[in-house]
A = this chain, B = another copy of it.
Amino acid sequence: MKLSALQISRYQYVPKLPGMLRNGISEICVKDGNATQSVADQEKIKALFPNTYGKNEITFQRGQNTSAPKKQVVGVILSGGQAPGGHNVVCGLYDALKATDKENVLYGFKGGPSGLLEDDYIVFDDAYIDQFRNTGGFDIIGSGRTKLESEEQFAVVAQVCKKHGITAIVIIGGDDSNTNAAVLAEYFAANNTGVQVIGCPKTIDGDLKNEDIECSFGFDTATKTYSEMIGNIERDANSAKKYWHFIKVMGRSASHVALECALETQPNICLIGEEIAAKKMSLSQIAEDIADSVASRAAKGWNFGVAIIPEGIVEFVPEFSVLIAEINELLAGEKTAQFNALPTWEDKYAFIENGLTKESMAVFAILPESIQQQLFLERDPHGNVQVSLIESEKLFSALVKDKLAEKKAAGTYNGKFAPIHHFFGYEGRCAFPSNFDADYCYSLGYNAFMLIQYGYTGYLSKVSNLSKPAEEWIAGGMPITKMMNIERRNGKDKPVIRKALVELDGKPFKFFEANREEWKNETCYTYPGAIQYYGPTEVCDLTTRTLALEQE
C-alpha cells in the first residue's frame, strides 16, 4: 500500500475539540437544558415516541464526570452516501470510548445498516483506527443504503446487540437515517433492551440543518472541492474567453451545494431550485434568464461564462414535474412494452404526442432530442423516469441555444455560444476532510460517546457555534424527536426530520440575490483554489460562506 505524502502528513493532524471537551474525560459533566417538543405535530409525534419524546436538550461543560462506571460496548454504522469526515466521527468516538476505559469495545458494522442486520463487523483497535485518521471516504467500514425501519429489522438488531453485549449504537447518516435512529431508539426503549441509540448528522447535501443542527458534516469539504474546480474553470473561461461552462453539482433536491459554490465563486448564473418553484418558473423563463446573461456579456465581447445547475433542479420546475408525471402515467404497466415495440423514434414521438396533454407536449417539444429520448428510453425498474439521470446541464444549454437563435434572428444578439458541460459529485464526497470537517467530525464522535456514557438515547450529537473557532464550540445533545414533524411519504403519514431546503428569506440566498445581477453581466469570478490544510488560519480554517452569513 503506497500512501500519498498528504495522507502520511494528515495522520499527524490533531483535530480540535470544543473547549469544554478539552480537559479530559474526567472533567466533562452535563448541564441540563430545557425539555423539548417537536417542531410541529407535537401530539402525534409524542404518541409515536412515548419513551423518548420531550427529553431535555443537554450541553456538556467542564466539571467532574458524574457518569456511572460501566463497561461500554458500542456499535457504529455509516449510512448512505459518503461525506468527508466520516472516518473522524469514528475516530473521535473510539478515542473517547478508550480514554474512558481501555476495556471498552467499539464494533464497526460493515457496509451500512445491512452490516448490523447481517452481523458483519470488525472490532476496532488502535492500529486499524490510526490508518483512517483525518482521511476521506467511508472505506473504514463501508456504507450502504439499506433502510433500517421495520420492527422485524429492529428485532434482528436487538439480537445482534445482545449477542455481542452491545448497549449503544451510533448511526452516522442523513435525515432519513437519523429519523430511523429515533424510531430504533424508541423501539429499544419500549422493549427494555437497554440499548441506546445516538445519531450524527452527515450529508454533503447540507439539507440536514435546522435551528439545532447548524450544518451537517461533509458539506464544508465537498463544497470547497467543487468550488475549487468551479473557480479553476472560471479562470479558464476568463482566460480562453470562448466557452460557456454549464456545471451541474450534486446535492439531491435542495440547492444548498449550488448556492454555497456560487457564494464562493461568484459565477454568472446559479439556478436555485427553491426559487424556481416559488416563482413557478417555466423552462422557457429560466432559459431566457440565462440567455440574457449570455447576450449582455456577448455585447461586451465576452462570449464566455459559467452557470451552476443544482442536481435536483428539474423537480422544481412545475411544468416539468407535470410532464414527468404524465410520462410515468403514459408508460405505466403494459404500456411500456407497447411503446417499446414501436419501430422508430418517429412512431414513438407520435405516440407521445397523442398521449400527453397539450401543455405537457409543449414542454416536451422544446426539449433537445437527447433529453426527449432519455425520458422515454431510460427508465427505472418501476417504469418511472429517472429524474436524477437527466442531464440538466445539457438541457439548459440546449434551451439557451434556442433562445439565442431567436435573439439572433431578432437582431439582439450577435455572439458565439460554445457550451461545455460538467458534473461534479463523486469528486467531493471522499476528499480529505477540511480542517473544519476534521475537527467537527471528531468532535461529533467524541461527543456521541459522552452522550452514551451519560445514558442518553434518541439523541443527535450536537456541536454548535460553528462559525467561531473550535475553542468556542458548544458540545451537547438534542433529542431527535425535537426536529421531527409528520410528512406524507408513499401515501402514509410518517414522523420524519424536516428536510431543510434553501430559505428564500435566509441570509445566504439574500446575499446571492443582492449580487447576482452584477455577477451575471460583469466578470466577478472568485477563485478559491484547493483546500489547504496547513498555513495561515484565514486560509485553512474558513468555514462555508453559508454558515458565516447565517451566523453573522
Q: Which residues of A contact B (CB under 8 A)?
A: 1-7, 9-10, 81-82, 111, 135-139, 142-143, 225, 228-229, 231-233, 235-236, 238-241, 243, 245, 264, 266, 344, 346, 420, 422, 426-432, 524, 526-536, 538-540, 542
Contact = CB atoms under 8 A, between A and B. Distances in A.
Contact of A82 (B138, B240, B534): B240
Which 4 residue pairs of A and B lie closest in terms of their CB atoms, listed nearest first?
A534-B535, A530-B530, A235-B430, A137-B235
Nearest to A227: B4
A535 B4 contact: no
Contact of A232 (B426, B527, B533): B426
A140 to B, nearest CB: 9
A389 to B, nearest CB: 11
A532 B6 contact: yes
Number of this chain's copies in the complex? 2
A144 to B, nearest CB: 9
A431 B5 contact: no
A238 B542 CA distance: 29
A233 to B, nearest CB: 5
Contacts of A142: 239, 241
Given A5-B538, A143-B240, A534-B539, 18 more contacts: A2-B524, A4-B528, A7-B526, A9-B535, A9-B536, A10-B529, A82-B235, A139-B235, A228-B530, A233-B426, A235-B430, A344-B344, A422-B426, A431-B530, A432-B529, A530-B533, A534-B540, A535-B535
A428 B236 CA distance: 9
A266 B3 CA distance: 11
A109 B381 CA distance: 58
A9 B538 contact: yes
A245 to B, nearest CB: 7
A530 B221 CA distance: 11
Given A533-B535, A535-B9, A536-B9, A135 B527 contact: yes
A207 to B, nearest CB: 20
A452 B420 CA distance: 40
A6 B235 contact: no
Nearest to A141: B239
Given A241-B142, A527-B136, A530-B531, A236 B2 contact: no
Contacts of A426: 232-233, 236, 243, 245, 420, 422
B532 A136 contact: no
17 contacts: A1-B524, A4-B527, A4-B528, A5-B538, A6-B527, A6-B530, A7-B526, A9-B539, A135-B235, A137-B238, A225-B232, A232-B426, A233-B426, A233-B427, A236-B429, A431-B529, A530-B530
